[in-house]
Structure 1
Amino acid sequence: MEPLVSELFGGSGSAQARGSRCGPGRGSTSSSRGRGLAAGSSARGSASGRGSTSASGQASVSVSGLSAQGQKGKLVAAPKAGHKKAKGRPRGRNNPPYLPPEAEEGNIEYKLKLVNPSQYRFEHLVTQMKWRLQEGRGEAVYQIGVEDNGLLVGLLEEELRASLKTLRRMAEKVGADITILRERDVEYDTDSPRRIAEVLVRKVPDDQQFLDLRVAVLGNVDSGKSTLLGVLTQGELDNGRGRARLNLFRHLHEIQSGRTSSISFEILGFNSKGEVVNYSDSRTAEEICESASKMITFIDLAGHHKYLKTTIFGLTSYCPDFAMLVVSANTGIAGTTREHLGLAMALKVPFFIVVSKVDLCTKATIERTVKQLEMVLKQPGCNKVPLLVSTSDDAVMAAQRFAQSPSITPIFPLSGVSGVNLELLKVFLNVLPPLTNSKEQEELMQQLTEFQVDEIYSVPEVGTVVGGTLYSGICREGERLVVGPTDEGKFLPLKVCSMQRNRSACRVLRAGQAATLALGNFDRALLRKGMVMVSPEMHPTICSVFESEIVLLFHAKTFRRGFQVTVHVGNVRQTAIVEIIQGKEELRTGEKAVVRFRFIKHSEYLKVGAKLLFREGVTKGIGHVTKLHPTSNDQNI
């Protein structure tokens, strides 16, 4: 990855910034997660039969799902051609298609048939469904007509309907809802038509209000990020002049210029049946939270170079599960697009791509932009497999494979004005599973409480309020924590008076969840961004000096002792000076070393292993913290 990241960061020659990636349970997924009807054929063929092999040997997908109409070259989705044949490896009548064998762990369950089970068998099936839902943190996928070894046998129409009826009874027993994602025909040693079904089962866990995924929105200025979010969350198409984005802006100059300069949050909900819940049928965020069983929280970040440090802070402190890179179809890869792509890769944030404004372009222009993206994604060091989404089946498969394999990069050509392919993005977000499984989540919740302070407010009649993400543990209303470090390196006691998630009150906050916490009469002047609120039993350690193993991604000349950079570690952002480069006098682009940094202002709370990203002008690098040199008064509470 490093050569490509270095190229992406160094190619623009502009003053650019870097950040670090944080977040509970990142970078690991269940081996069985994300297997769909086409997952088994991913290694043997291309998506939905439209794949081709590039010179680099990686699968690519053409834009055959789009067609041009009218003199303006407006794009519409190609019509669906009925039920498709299930794809697998090349086969004859005696060489049937396979999925990967069923895994004991994960949220994927194979069932050949569920026709008239006995009462004992039914109770066993219900228990099994509870286990799969727990593994998927409230979501499970059932493959009906598939044997445990992955053989796609298929069922007759009567058997399939009876099996789906039984599955619906099972879901009702556990308080869940089912959504049929897709049905497909399969040929296997019989003249009778047989079909397989893929079903999503969703149930909000008893101890949660809703499932929550955070998606950071990246892309060059004027690529249509805020407009796309406005269309998704407001439920109304844009007028072509930016009307949809007005509700997202926080400042007057943003409305006047049409450019985002701060971090804003927007929510898109899905109910248990997979239907969209947004402001088109709900007047407030509280109503959306009450109706939704799954919530997508979009983190709208700035695209202009001027606000790059704000974009980096959003990526590093808010710990997004995924990133959505928005690329304008008419301009292609331009401005900060490469840099934002490099940020996502350096921080190991899984990302998918939206090609916006296709209503302004011809088919040839869109193909050129997609090919541009494919070339960048396939470069050595990146090794991504682009997957163009043009049908609902593609969207379902892309969501499952995307969560399973970090090498898959879905691409959605769409328009917020005409609405072309907008539904495909909604299908993708509805099916997209969380990256962490129940076991990883449980391990995080068993740790001591650690809450990162990202925002600070003063609310009338409420007092001081802080916003951020709970990195580990469980935080309850009324809990007593300590916050710091202050400029003197101390931690101060406080009490959590109340909590809200998406403007909806809650009593318990769990690891990985973002929320705002009311602190009552606690003096706001004592707080700053970059602090943490932790359990007193943690005895937090702070430091001004720390060591990090780094890779210098780009530097115009040589990187040597005494150089000052802005360091990003989680929600910490502070200038530091290079004290020592171990074993070397200087570093050049692409070289690695262990470097000792010293913060120039005050001590910070860091952890060994935390990812680090630094920048200064065109100088940038990434790494991780390897050693702390604690401050002498690190435990003054």
Structure 2
Amino acid sequence: MNHYTVGMAGHIDHGKTTLTKALTNVDTDRLKEEKERSISIELGYAPLTLNDDMEVSLIDVPGHERFIRQMIAGVAGIDLVMLVVAGDEGVMPQTKEHIDILRLLGIKNGIIVVTKVDKIDEEMRQLVELDIRESVEETFFNDSPLFFVDGVSGAGVEQLKAGIELALQGQESRDASGSFRLPIDQVFTVHGQGTVVRGTVYEGIVQEGDVLEILPQKIPVRARQLQVHHQRRESGRAGQRVAVNVGGVSKEELTRGDVLVASGHYETTDTIDVSLSTVAELKYALKQRGAIKLHIGTAEVYGKIVFFDRNELSESNEEVVCQLRLDEPVVTRRGDRFILRRPTPTETIGGGVVIDAHGLKYRFGEQTIHQLKSKLEATPKERMLQLLMDKKLITVEAVSKELNLTETTIEEIVNDSDELIELVQGEISSRSVITSMTDLLRSELERYHTDHPMREGIKKAEIIQSYEKTFPKKFINAILEDQTKIGMIKVMGPFVALFEHEPHPPKQWEKRVQQIVEQIRKEGLLVTPVQEHLKAQQLPEKLHEEVIFYLHQQQILFQLDEKLSIHAEAFIDAVSRLYSGTSETFTLQQAKEITDLSRKYLVPFMEKLDKLGLTLRQEQERKWRVTEVENWLQRNNH
């Protein structure tokens, strides 16, 4: 089953509502005022039966100038438009404005219907057809079929139905693979059921029971019940007119222009980058930051227009890339069509397509124009790469929101590309972004190892802090993990280093450090303070702290206190002798007898054993932690 929406456009009192009734047997004028004045004020909807493979909704659009908002809301989501012209009046100003709006909304499939043909003779028919053909030259109606119909008698109605069916056979039905979105054009209450919203589904599928959201208010709701033209349905899809009974919200909280969406899949925006085309005859130039009224979906929002290459816009045959800054948020995506009108004096300015639903502030000049045109012309893959230059790492769901691509399309692009990479499960980055981070990381580590060769590496927390202004923390951690796996770097506790790096003294001081170590080794347990050895070897004072840290970190020396450090060989041997020469517990006196250390050395030596977890102090005695000390001695090859 293919689902289509067919709209009617044309001047007031040209017979659109009568034609709708002739096609569908439904009177779409529901309001008392509409009956009294014989004009359509609100959008009217009716099911049009053509064949078993097509489900068609017909929209009767108000023609009066004052109801232009409803007209735009009605045609914004249609697949085929019928341009209705009364045979006894011909093409009128409102007809031309409607043609302009349809063109600007990107509608390309249309047929022409001449109504009230019972009021004209054959000669008038020919004149009316000539008038219409001249008026639609250079529009998408140029080659459209034309039908003569009388809505009252029914003459020509069956031929028109056949024409509609033929026109829709060449029209692709709307893609239902995206996330559900329904711009609301009607809100009402049904006794005993609560609030109902109605609209044409722009994209996606909705099912009974779905958790949804109403934007821009961010109201969570649930789809209790669905109807298509008063018939209960379990689901509704792109291209269908659907009424949704929404739980959790009152009628007073909602209005036309709100959007019912799949929860969590859409965001609101008040700054939109657009490509704009003007109408053929613009009466007044539009000034920089001039007031505008934006019609997008079923919403009508005021704001201002910002140009980046001019200070005013008059009639233009070119597309102008610019920005709309709105007074209220709207729901839109790249590729959505819109109409711009001037609030006062009232006039349709133009329309076009959304380039980026989340525009930024840009500088005036050609660089910005080039940037926006590149965005406009970019392929989905190129847009993803552009997005990743900014975001670095982004979920598939977020890409879908930002770029108006289905998650299936995104996954296909990633799978077919060497440039796009799923760095974290469900999150994408690009090879160029990853390379820029890894190049920075390697350069940073190389510099650090050159400046501090005796250190194990940079603290991981410092790396994250250094780069998180440019890269998300999750991205940095993912890069560190990835580079560890491929052997470019190593992570040792809190430190990160290049895989090939081993801490070592600077080459020009290497021999002197070795001499210091050798002297301390020869001193055994009765050592001279390390600082004295450093001074004796004339090492620069700025290196003293670094050398001591290196000797302790590499366990070349074991630090007893702030001044005394014993060579590892002597320390391990002393621990081994003490462990062999005592029972499970021992006293300070017993330790003194075995190590032959004075109290100056013995107390910090014993405290070091406690710190290493080899002994446990119990009042005047110490108890060996047998398993720990045996493992320690084994690790130290003793």
TM-score by length of 1: 0.52
Partner of 1:221: 12
Partner of 1:189: none
Is the Cα–Cα contact under 8 Å of residues 261 and 307 in structure 1 kept in the other structure?
A: yes
Aligned with 1:544 (options 251, 261, 270): 270
Give, as a single letter, the amino acid of the residue that structure 2 aligns with 1:480. V
Q: State yes or no: 1:555 paired with 2:282.
A: yes
Aligned with 1:492 (options 219, 228, 234): 219
Query: In the aligned structure 1, how far is the partner of 2:221 from the partner of 2:4?
Result: 29
Which residues in structure 2 correspond to 1:391-540 (within 5 Å)? 408-434=143-169, 437=172, 444-486=175-217, 491-538=218-265, 540=266
Query: In the aligned structure 2, how far is the partner of 1:619 from the partner of 1:418?
Result: 36
Partner of 1:300: 60
After superposition, the Cα gap between the structure-2 partners of 1:508 and 1:252, relative to the gap in structure 1 and judged at 3 Å, is closer
Partner of 1:237: none
Aligned with 1:362 (options 121, 134, 150): 121
After superposition, the Cα gap between the structure-2 partners of 1:435 and 1:576, relative to the gap in structure 1 and judged at 3 Å, is farther
Q: State yes or no: 1:260 paired with 2:40.
A: yes
Q: Which runs of 4+ in 1 moved over 4 A?
A: 434-437
Q: Is the partner of 1:519 in helix, strand or coil?
A: strand
* Structure 1 residue 363 displacement after superposition: 1.0
Partner of 1:191: none
* Structure 1 residue 446 displacement after superposition: 3.0
Aligned with 2:92 (options 301, 314, 334): 334
* Structure 1 residue 619 displacement after superposition: 4.8
User: Which structure has the bigger radius of gyration?
Assistant: 2
Q: State yes or no: 1:248 paired with 2:28.
A: yes
Per-residue CA deviations over 1:572-606 (Å, capped at 9, x if unaligned) read 2111112x310111121115432222212x21222
After superposition, the Cα gap between the structure-2 partners of 1:584 and 1:630, relative to the gap in structure 1 and judged at 3 Å, is closer
Q: Is the partner of 1:314 in helix, strand or coil?
A: helix
Partner of 1:627: 356
Is the Cα–Cα contact under 8 Å of residues 273 and 359 in structure 2 kept in the other structure?
A: no
Is the Cα–Cα contact under 8 Å of residues 334 and 355 in structure 2 kept in the other structure?
A: yes
Partner of 2:135: 376
Count, aligned residues: 356
Partner of 1:101: none
* Structure 1 residue 353 displacement after superposition: 0.9
Partner of 1:165: none
After superposition, the Cα gap between the structure-2 partners of 1:624 and 1:348, relative to the gap in structure 1 and judged at 3 Å, is closer
Partner of 1:50: none
* Structure 1 residue 430 displacement after superposition: 4.2
Is the Cα–Cα contact under 8 Å of residues 215 and 320 in structure 1 kept in the other structure?
A: yes
Q: Is the partner of 1:230 in helix, strand or coil?
A: helix
Give, as a single letter, the amino acid of the residue that structure 2 aligns with 1:426. K
Query: In the aligned structure 2, how far is the partner of 1:254 from the partner of 1:430?
Result: 30
Query: In the aligned structure 1, how far is the partner of 2:239 from the partner of 2:58?
Result: 15
Query: In the aligned structure 2, how far is the partner of 1:534 from the partner of 1:383?
Result: 32
* Structure 1 residue 460 displacement after superposition: 1.1
Query: In the aligned structure 2, how far is the partner of 1:470 from the partner of 1:233?
Result: 21
Partner of 1:159: none
Give, as a single letter, the amino acid of the residue that structure 2 aligns with 1:542. T
CA RMSD of aligned residues (A): 2.5
Per-residue CA deviations over 1:77-126 (Å, capped at 9, x if unaligned) read xxxxxxxxxxxxxxxxxxxxxxxxxxxxxxxxxxxxxxxxxxxxxxxxxx
Give, as a single letter, the amino acid of the residue that structure 2 aligns with 1:358. V
Query: In the aligned structure 1, how far is the partner of 2:164 from the partner of 2:141?
Result: 20
After superposition, the Cα gap between the structure-2 partners of 1:366 and 1:596, relative to the gap in structure 1 and judged at 3 Å, is same
Partner of 2:314: 588
Query: In the aligned structure 1, how far is the partner of 2:61 from the partner of 2:326?
Result: 27
Query: In the aligned structure 2, how far is the partner of 1:357 from the partner of 1:384?
Result: 20
Partner of 2:294: 567
* Structure 1 residue 322 displacement after superposition: 0.8
Q: Is the partner of 1:556 in helix, strand or coil?
A: coil
Query: In the aligned structure 2, how far is the partner of 1:413 from the partner of 1:446?
Result: 38
Give, as a single letter, the amino acid of the residue that structure 2 aligns with 1:472. E
Partner of 2:334: 608
- Structure 1 stretches lacking a partner, 5+ long: 1-204, 206-210, 235-244, 273-292, 386-407
Give, as a single letter, the amino acid of the residue that structure 2 aligns with 1:429. I
Q: Is the partner of 1:472 in helix, strand or coil?
A: coil
Per-residue CA deviations over 1:210-254 (Å, capped at 9, x if unaligned) read x443211111112111112222223xxxxxxxxxx9x33222222
* Structure 1 residue 325 displacement after superposition: 1.2
Q: State yes or no: 1:345 paired with 2:86.
A: no
Query: In the aligned structure 1, how far is the partner of 2:332 from the partner of 2:55?
Result: 30
Query: In the aligned structure 2, how far is the partner of 1:307 from the partner of 1:544?
Result: 25
Give, as a single letter, the amino acid of the residue that structure 2 aligns with 1:566. K
Q: State yes or no: 1:269 paired with 2:53.
A: no
- Greater share of residues in helix: 2
Query: In the aligned structure 1, how far is the partner of 2:252 from the partner of 2:121?
Result: 55
Is the Cα–Cα contact under 8 Å of residues 69 and 295 in structure 2 kept in the other structure?
A: no
Higher relative contact order (Cα pairs below 8 Å, separated by 6+ residues):
1
- State the percentage of identical aligned residues: 24
Query: In the aligned structure 2, how far is the partner of 1:419 from the partner of 1:501?
Result: 26
After superposition, the Cα gap between the structure-2 partners of 1:433 and 1:472, relative to the gap in structure 1 and judged at 3 Å, is same
Give, as a single letter, the amino acid of the residue that structure 2 aligns with 1:588. S
Is the Cα–Cα contact under 8 Å of residues 203 and 239 in structure 2 kept in the other structure?
A: yes
Is the Cα–Cα contact under 8 Å of residues 221 and 335 in structure 1 kept in the other structure?
A: no
Query: In the aligned structure 2, how far is the partner of 1:504 from the partner of 1:358?
Result: 35
After superposition, the Cα gap between the structure-2 partners of 1:535 and 1:255, relative to the gap in structure 1 and judged at 3 Å, is closer
After superposition, the Cα gap between the structure-2 partners of 1:334 and 1:448, relative to the gap in structure 1 and judged at 3 Å, is closer
Is the Cα–Cα contact under 8 Å of residues 3 and 238 in structure 2 kept in the other structure?
A: no
Q: Is the partner of 1:471 in helix, strand or coil?
A: coil
Is the Cα–Cα contact under 8 Å of residues 542 and 630 in structure 1 kept in the other structure?
A: no
Is the Cα–Cα contact under 8 Å of residues 353 and 410 in structure 1 kept in the other structure?
A: yes
Is the Cα–Cα contact under 8 Å of residues 582 and 593 in structure 1 kept in the other structure?
A: no
* Structure 1 residue 419 displacement after superposition: 3.5
Per-residue CA deviations over 1:32-62 (Å, capped at 9, x if unaligned) read xxxxxxxxxxxxxxxxxxxxxxxxxxxxxxx
* Structure 1 residue 434 displacement after superposition: 4.5
* Structure 1 residue 431 displacement after superposition: 4.2
Partner of 2:630: none
Which of 297-306 and 498-507 deviates more? 297-306
Query: In the aligned structure 1, how far is the partner of 2:15 from the partner of 2:164?
Result: 18
Is the Cα–Cα contact under 8 Å of residues 268 and 330 in structure 2 kept in the other structure?
A: yes
Give, as a single letter, the amino acid of the residue that structure 2 aligns with 1:214. T
Query: In the aligned structure 1, how far is the partner of 2:82 from the partner of 2:114?
Result: 10
Is the Cα–Cα contact under 8 Å of residues 330 and 366 in structure 1 kept in the other structure?
A: no
Is the Cα–Cα contact under 8 Å of residues 463 and 521 in structure 1 kept in the other structure?
A: no
Which residues in structure 2 correspond to 1:110-121 (within 5 Å)? none
Q: Is the partner of 2:301 in helix, strand or coil?
A: strand
Query: In the aligned structure 2, how far is the partner of 1:384 from the partner of 1:271?
Result: 25
Give, as a single letter, the amino acid of the residue that structure 1 aligns with 2:147. F
TM-score by length of 2: 0.52
Q: Is the partner of 1:216 in helix, strand or coil?
A: strand
- Structure 2 stretches lacking a partner, 5+ long: 361-397, 399-638
Partner of 2:23: 232
After superposition, the Cα gap between the structure-2 partners of 1:294 and 1:610, relative to the gap in structure 1 and judged at 3 Å, is closer
* Structure 1 residue 498 displacement after superposition: 1.0
